[in-house]
Amino acid sequence: MASFFEMLYEGFPPLNLFYINGFSNDMFSADAYTSIGLMMLFSALIMEGLYYFVLSNYGKMHRRSFWFLWLFIIAVLNFVLAYINSMSSLTKVGTGSDYTFSQYFSFSMVNVLWAVVFSFIFSVIFKFWSVSASRTPF
């Protein structure tokens, strides 16, 4: 499982699109990728499930604009979760103070990217069973 999240968070080796020197190695060593990645997957799954099976059944919440708002909420939640958990994981290992805001921010934005991607995938799956939002987002 750790290698799957390493692949996501470091950007598909050997390309290493999201690799951050030193920071990525310490995150992998602290086993932070797995915990943050699982939180990202489960939060996207649960939040999209809530949207399609609960929220979309009320009023006009099944519209595309509310879906984008909900996606934005998922993105903000995952940014905060990744930022706080990456900082605490590296602090526990003793390397948390070695990194700047921009490195934590960059990692958190990568987490947001994957949260949006997985939310979209879950949307495609859930929309077929939704009563009101079967055409949301497309």
Q: Distance (Å, rounded) from C-alpha 92 to C-alpha 68?
A: 36
Distances (CA, A) of 17 to 24, 37, 81: 12, 17, 22
pTM given for the model: 0.90
The position carrying tokens 């987002």 is 137
pLDDT, one tens digit per residue, over 1-48 is: 888 999 999 888 788 889 888 899 999 989 999 999 999 999 999 999
List the one residue out of 105, 85, 96, 111 whose CA is nearest residue 11. 111
Q: Distance (Å, rounded) from C-alpha 123 to C-alpha 51?
A: 9
| Neighbouring C-alpha atoms within 13 Å toward the C-beta of 63 | 5
pLDDT, one tens digit per residue, over 81-96 is: 999 999 999 999 888 7
